[in-house]
Amino acid sequence: MKTIWQKDDDYYTLITLTDEAVQHAEGKLKIRLPKSYLALLKEQNGGSLNDKSFPTNVPTSWADDHIHVGYIWGIGEKHSILNSEYLISEWGLPHNIVIFSGDGHSWSAFDYRKKKENPPIIYIEADSELVIELAPDFEAFLNRLYTEEETEHDEFFYEQNQRVWTYEELKVAFLTNIEQEIIPALDYLYFNPAGNERFIEESVILLLQSPILGIKELAVTYGNGFYEKGVLSSKAVKKIVLLIRNDNEIKDYEEFYFRNPVQ
């Protein structure tokens, strides 16, 4: 039987779901989770998706006619729907929703604002305040996921990932204060950490001291990715956490990203 889960990527997959965990989640969130969502999590408790695109009738930050949904969160401690309350507060999102996928600027969520059971699925863009309904319920949402054909943008992204960066090129990118220049450089280091560990530590620490909030947020997000991959030394983690704690603009990120902070 075909599964929606991408089996070679378990980054977002949590431990096997139990009835007790479901009861705890519903009690904490004060909602009834859709049966189709729980049935999916019984197969696998969250994870990356095979089909990552969903059609839309309006343009979004992703494309003119679709959005990207890379994964669905399960129920647990990390990458979980239980983080909804924190994310709603942090990003100024609508109340009475439960987020099951997102990246910091766009989110997919169960919309409990008008319907208390089997709610519709909405898409939210925090920057533009765009909110659109994707599907009348979660089952319909799953049925409309598809794989987008490769575009020129995808080919460019692939070429960027194949590019071999020099240290000088990476340093120049990190000094530009332009997010579009910094992201490909961080992506390169994320997929090629071996032998670059110390440079990665220095770069994350440098970006955390940027005067631009968006760049600091990138540093926190990628820094957490390096942290979870075991790339960062304990000394570097301690310094990174200290920088986050002492910066009022990003201090709340420590709790969400660094689940085992260094004291």
Helical axes 234-245 vs 213-228, angle rounded to 10°: 150
- Position 87, amino acid: L
Using CA atoms, how far apart are residues 51 and 61, in angstroms rounded to an integer?
Answer: 19
pLDDT of 61 reads: 80
Query: Within a domain: residue 130?
Result: yes
Quote the CA–CA distance of 227 and 73 in Å, as a whole number: 20
**Nearest in space to 77 (alpha carbons), one of 12, 31, 30:** 12
Task: Report yes or no on 262 lying in a domain.
Answer: no
Distance CA 138, CA 142 (A): 6
Q: Are residues 33 and 134 in the same domain?
A: yes
Phi/psi of residue 187, each to 5°? -60, -45
- Between CA 208 and CA 226 the distance in angstroms is 14
> What is the full DSSP assignment across 158-177?
HHHHH----HHHHHHHHTS-
- CATH code, 123: 3.40.1580.10
Do 23 and 139 lie in a common domain? yes
Domains in the chain, number: 2
CB distance 231 to 200 below 8 Å: yes
Is 108 inside a domain boundary? yes
Report the distance separating Cα 96 and Cα 111, nearest Å.
7
Domain final position from 115, 143, 171? 143
pLDDT confidence of residue 103: 74
CB of 29 closer than 8 Å to CB of 84: yes
Dihedral angle over CA of 178, 184, 189, 190, nearest 10: 110
Range of the domain at 217: 152-257
Along the 263 residues of the chain, how does pLDDT read in single tens digits? 468 998 887 878 999 999 999 999 999 999 999 999 999 999 999 999 999 999 999 998 888 899 989 899 999 987 899 999 988 988 889 999 999 998 767 899 999 999 999 999 999 988 788 999 999 999 999 999 998 765 554 444 444 455 788 989 999 999 988 888 898 899 889 888 989 999 999 999 999 999 999 899 889 988 888 888 889 998 999 999 999 999 999 988 776 666 544 43
Evaluate whether residue 8 is within a structural domain. Answer: no
Are both 92 and 128 inside the same structural domain? Answer: yes
Pair (253, 167) in one structural domain = yes
At 62 the pLDDT is 81
